[in-house]
A and B are shown apart, each in its own frame.
Chain A
Amino acid sequence: MKLYCLSGHPTLPCNVLKFKSTTIMLDCGLDTTSVLNFLPLPLVHSPRLSKLPGWISKDGTINLEKELKDCAGRVFVDSQPEFCLPERELLDLSTIDVILISNYHCMMALPYITEHTGFTGTVYATEPTLQIGRLLMEEVVNFMERVPKAQSATCWKNKEIQRMLPGPLKDAVDVWTWKRCYSMQEVNSALSKVQLVGYSQKVELFGAVQVSPLSSGYSLGSSNWIIQSHHEKVSYVSGSSLLTTHPQPMDQSSLKNSDVLILTGLTQMPTANPDGMLGEFCSNLAMTIRAGGNVLVPCYSSGVIYDLLECLYQFIESASLGTTPFYFISPVANSSLEFSQIFAEWLCHNKQTKVYLPEPPFPHAELIQTNKLKHYPSIHGDFSSEFRQPCVVFTGHPSLRFGDVVHFMELWGKSSLNTIIFTEPDFSYLDALAPYQPLAMKCVYCPIDTRLNFHQVSKLLKEVQPLHVVCPEQYTQPPLTQSHRSDLMLELQPPPMPYRRCSVLNLPFRRRYERVYILPELANSLVPSEIKPGVSVATVSAVVHSKDNKHTLQSVPKPPPVAPSKKRKRVMDEPPVVLAPKPLLSGAVPLEAFLATLQKHGITEVKVEETADGHILHLQAEDTLIQLEEDGTHIVCDNNEPLRTTLRDLVLRFLQKL
């Protein structure tokens, strides 16, 4: 059993598990941090961005003026932003049988895998994962296609040139494999390969392996996966949460008794408490509005935003923000808000019971109804005429490189009255802000990451007790910036097996048993005998039938009875009689009892001689020796078949047959 690790990003994993002749891809995360190296894509022409100076190496030998721009001392690629894809050279991706998706953030690379590698398998995901995943993909595609960029920078990717580049560009990995965003057509085609599953649904793969999604508590429809056969169990834990937010709580007990637990998607902000961050978010928001400034919240259009809106719903009145407009701008804003209301069975208990009343589970329905929250597909159209300041705007993309957020950065960046509040943990806020420097706007960093922290995960692992843990190497050492915090790493016994991009791990598995089914006819013919109290054995001779990875044992067919034909006897080929081999024997032959038995069978003249290991019985009349020892019996006689058979059967009476 092997694990191929195609992504080095611990929260956007992409691993391939080879298990019992099936090839299973676990998640399909797209590392979007690569876009931070690119210039933002403005919705309307930005004089500031277009006036940025081009980059020329200090000695003047490399001139990439057209491709690279310098902003406040950092160099950015002036091209359509590109993504860092999962590794595609480590194994033949067309051999992948199934892809299991754990949550909608971890499927963004799906079109690259399903459309361009010869993939012919099935993708498994829950309904909310599919629907919201589709929205997130649609949003990114829309952001990119709305502002097409003619130029595609490639020169800087040249290995020789990249070496000479400054800053993060120099250290960017695998840049020649970076790819532009996919098209909507590719998204549709990729998502048409998705097969919907429900929590705890058991999905059989080729009869060999059973996979089953479990609630992971992180987002709507998010799941961990159990991959198991009758005797082996692998748990795949991805983005999970124990906090009570909107999704159904995490199913922990089903992870028990795993041979291997693959652990990914822990919190990216181990030191930030989500509740505290939420409080800070609200107070900063209120402060800015009171001072007459605007608040910009760069965020994904699903996920934490539901919790933010719910929090604000309770907070608005007490903070007397009743008249402040809240805007949610995204091509999928409406869909995201609507979809959130229809997945009752994927929500936490509280929200579920609301549906029975029937009331919408999320209070943002009321915010919309009372006109406190308005949503728009983009800044163009209705929004531009209805827009009032000061206001709060939720919009994407959290990388600040594309989407409507770019416009608001340009619009509000120059005033210190305004505040940008980062809530998504995926991007370093300093890197995100880099191409907007110098910036007057206030920046508040309140990353809300509800995924498991190290404390929670070690408690979880103690409870479910997997034999082995596999995790990204980042989790086996404290973060670089906090090297003294030994509590910010996994400490386990046996130590976890770390992986990095391009690792191939041999998972410590010894498969020893397989399930077979004994058909009733054969089962009825078995003769068990008790060897020890509570332990019985029976010898089995059977025909093995293997079909679709399922094995059944049938009785050995009897040779067809030779028809009693009166015509001349045909010389038959030797019938394929399959004789059962003789069983192994165990036990010992007790001397006295054996002698008594011999006597019963008319063998009376027996001379017993004691030896070091047992006895030698001399059957004088038959001129036969029987050597009886603790672990063996030896019958020595002349060519007298009937006698030998009798003696054999007498000895066998005292022995157990296996």
Chain B
Amino acid sequence: MPEINVTPLGAGQDVGRSCILVSIGGKNIMLDCGMHMGYNDDRRFPDFSYITQNGRLTDFLDCVIISHFHLDHCGALPYMSEMVGYDGPIYMTHPTKAICPILLEDFRKITVDKKGETNFFTSQMIKDCMKKVVPLNLHQTVQVDDELEIKAYYAGHVLGAAMVHIKVGSESVVYTVSVNKYAKSHISAWIDKCRPDILISESTYATTIRDSKRCRERDFLKKVHETIERGGKVLIPVFALGRAQELCILLETFWERMNLKAPIYFSTGLTEKANHYYKLFITWTNQKIRKTFVQRNMFEFKHIKAFDRSYADNPGPMVVFATPGMLHAGQSLQIFKKWAGNEKNMVIMPGYCVQGTIGHKILNGQRKLEMEGRATVRLLISFALTKRLIHVGKLLACVFCFHTLQLDVKLQVEYMSFSAHADAKGIMQLIRMAEPRNMLLVHGEAVKMEFLKGKIEQEFSIDCYMPANGETATVTTNPSVPVDISLNLLKREMALGGPLPDPKKPRTMHGTLIMKENSLKLVSSEQALKELGLNEHQLRFTCRVQLQDPHSDPDTLHRIYTHLKSVLKGYTIQHLPDGTVMVESIVIKVSSSAEDTNAKVLLLSWSYQVKHRHCPCSRLSKLGQKHNRLKT
């Protein structure tokens, strides 16, 4: 039995470093190639040694598909293609292709230039990697090779996010990132009822069933407004591209409507560029934005200005969007440290936070944070040692003191799941749409997955898998075999069955399947003989029945004919002019011997193909004997 194997190298019962291997119909596909935000060591990238211990991956993979530009889905791409080695095609949508290298470069800068790590991919590697990218259009069916085809659907998660339908022969897999159920508002909405063998879905918000987007938006604005009113500062940690733009639009219109004066800042760098991308790829955004883009570009903001580091200390209320979104490094973390002590302030986390990040900690209610100070400590120590200023004992105390540097979190922490990851409802809806035969969950926490798995199995009675990293889920498929049937044969069978299908009377057809060099043709037996250049071999049987009858041969035959007619009801019986009687396709002849004209020989002749039910030779010969008796 053919089977499909799915092995997560990352994101198996975990959030981060998405990387899923799929083997289908002899093809190997890598879905996403992400990094993990919570680690700084080897665990940051997927374990590619699973594919091969030594050498390049090109021979083992037919293609790589990237679903969207978030680093947990594409962050390991240059490492995989340039450092491990992969030269095959990498598919991603146009917006992803545009934005992904920028985020990768940003990530590289932070890691190499700021943290001083070596053995990391270089700018040139990012460029070389991007050269291997083949852009995907929505709904375009891309033929990777003769057998493997992929098709991208709009996913609505972030700009350019896509679901992918992967098909080999009649087997197929759908991989979707966090599907936004609001994707339906997009003009070319959603997926067909494509009935894949497996639907692989993220399950980041597996247990949450969120309120309507509208409610959340209203809630968000209310919280921001209240904080501003009491003179507090609002920090919104975001990733540069994606939800940030939508929140900006939201605040911009709110400020306009309420005539608010407090400044809104967006941390610099990517902002302007990011907005420009949104403008050029407006066909990939939602319909509301598309509709009005000629009159008014939604991404040109009046109230939102670029942020400068010094503004953080300004008095008075303000709203700041700062990167990154999980408070694990960079500007958002710096601002957070500055503002954390004041209960008037607020931090709004608009997205999911990976375990290990500050964002995750404060969302879990932690109010005392140990801040990393190691780098500074190490510097101090080396300084102190060179100057021989301090005693070793004091030094230990000093290290201890720095390690427990604490930050009291007094500001309000709010969580709003604006991030467009799929929630349980969205996933269920997707299953209803696509009608998969099996479900496979990735990119979520094991406990939450378990919950969703139960729900799916209960509601749809399909198998649901949730393999851990390095574990393989195997699904056997049962593909039907495509065959070319001769139209004559098909039409003949259709005609036999009458115009309407009758469930009680199955239409049967009989033919010969010719298998020749990968082609399968189903034709009638006669045509098969002709096509194969074979002669038919006739197999006939003749049965001799002796009987006594004084009449002449033709008369005997006629008497038999009339007798048969009266006995065999429902059969076609013909008396042919050439001196034979046909019962269906059985030929009856009479001959008499030269010596005794009364001794007749009845010859019953039929061919091998005569259907058994129609082969009444035994009955006929009995009849002959009866006849004999009658006469004598």
Contacts and interface: CB of A to CB of B under 8 A. Distances in A.
Interface of A: 127, 196-202, 212, 230-231, 334-335, 338-339, 341-345, 352, 355-356, 358, 360-361, 511-520, 523, 526, 528, 531-532, 534-546, 551-553, 556-557, 576, 578-589, 630-639, 641, 644, 648, 651-652, 655-656, 658
B508 A578 contact: yes
Given A514-B485, A515-B485, A543-B508, 17 more contacts: A201-B140, A511-B487, A513-B521, A515-B482, A516-B483, A520-B478, A520-B481, A523-B480, A536-B516, A539-B525, A541-B509, A544-B507, A584-B525, A631-B537, A636-B544, A639-B543, A639-B544
B288 interface: no
Contact of A512 (B142, B486, B507): B486
Contact of B513 (A334, A537, A579, A580): A537
Interface string B123-139: 00000000000010111
Contact of B608 (A344, A526, A582): A582
B509 A544 contact: yes
A552 B141 CA distance: 25
Nearest to B496: A544
A632 B513 contact: no
B526 interface: yes
A454 B534 CA distance: 48
B511 interface: yes
A619 B139 CA distance: 73
Contact of A201 (B94, B141, B282): B141
A231 B485 CA distance: 11
Contacts of B137: 198-199, 345
A650 to B, nearest CB: 11
A630 B281 CA distance: 75
B512 interface: yes
B138 A658 contact: no
Contact of A551 (B273, B277, B485): B485
A648 B537 CA distance: 13
Contact of A651 (B488, B532, B539): B539
Question: Most chain-A Cβ atoms within 10 A of its Cβ — which of B187, B481, B505?
Answer: B481
B578 interface: no
Q: Which 3 A-B pairs have the closest CB atoms?
A: A632-B538, A198-B139, A517-B480
Given A360-B280, A631-B535, A584 B526 contact: yes
B595 interface: no
B141 to A, nearest CB: 5
Contacts of A198: 137-140
Interface string B593-632: 0000000000000001111110001100100000000000
Nearest to B507: A544
Contacts of A542: 508-510
B490 A535 contact: no
Contacts of A641: 618
Best-buried of B135, B138, B283 by chain A (most CB within 10 Å): B283
Contacts, number: 258
A516 B94 contact: no
Among A360, A513, A644, the one with the most B-chain Cβ atoms within 10 Å of its Cβ is A513
B510 A539 contact: yes
Contacts of A580: 510
Contacts of B528: 537, 584, 658
Interface string B75-118: 00000000000000000001001100000000000000000000
Interface in B115-169: 135, 137-143, 151
Most chain B beta-carbon neighbours within 10 Å: one of A201, A360, A584, A636: A584
Contact of A343 (B283, B490, B535): B283
B542 interface: yes
Nearest to A578: B508
B375 interface: no
B480 A519 contact: yes
A212 B142 CA distance: 12
Nearest to A355: B280
B541 A648 contact: yes
B577 interface: no
Interface in B529-580: 529, 532, 534-546
B276 interface: yes
A594 to B, nearest CB: 13
10 contacts: A358-B98, A358-B277, A514-B487, A514-B490, A535-B532, A540-B513, A543-B506, A546-B494, A579-B611, A583-B525
A638 B544 contact: yes
Contacts of A578: 506, 508
Contacts of A526: 513
B522 interface: yes
Contacts of B525: 539, 583-584, 658
**Residue with the greatest number of chain A CB neighbours at <10 A, chosen from B137, B151, B282:** B137
Interface string B461-496: 000000000000000001111111111101001100
A631 B478 contact: no
A518 B481 CA distance: 5
Contacts of A358: 98, 273, 276-277, 280
Nearest to B517: A534
B515 interface: yes
B273 A648 contact: no
Contacts of B279: 342
A635 B537 CA distance: 13
Given A532-B532, A537-B532, A513 B509 contact: no
Given A531-B532, A544-B490, A517 B510 contact: no
A565 B542 CA distance: 42
A318 to B, nearest CB: 29
B501 interface: yes
A383 B619 CA distance: 103
A10 to B, nearest CB: 30
Nearest to B152: A198
Contacts of A197: 139
A346 B247 CA distance: 29
B117 to A, nearest CB: 27
B98 A516 contact: no
B480 A552 contact: yes
B535 A516 contact: no
Nearest to B512: A658
A162 to B, nearest CB: 44
B516 A534 contact: yes
A544 B618 contact: no
B188 interface: yes
B39 interface: no
Given A198-B139, A651-B539, A655-B539, A541 B280 contact: no
A481 B612 CA distance: 76
B254 interface: no
Contacts of B140: 198-201
A325 to B, nearest CB: 22
B215 interface: no
Nearest to A360: B280
A638 B501 contact: no
Nearest to A517: B480
B588 to A, nearest CB: 14
B363 interface: no
B483 A515 contact: yes
A531 B534 contact: yes
B540 A633 contact: yes
Contacts of B94: 344-345, 352, 355
Given A513-B487, A518-B481, A655-B539, A537 B514 contact: yes
Given A356-B97, A518-B480, A635-B541, A582 B505 contact: no
A202 B273 CA distance: 35
Contacts of B512: 537-540, 583, 658
B540 A634 contact: yes
Given A338-B294, A358-B273, A541-B508, A516 B485 contact: yes
Nearest to A130: B187
B383 interface: no
Q: Count chain B CB atoms within 10 A of each CB in A200, A230, A343, A579 and give the residue with the most.
A: A200
B60 interface: no
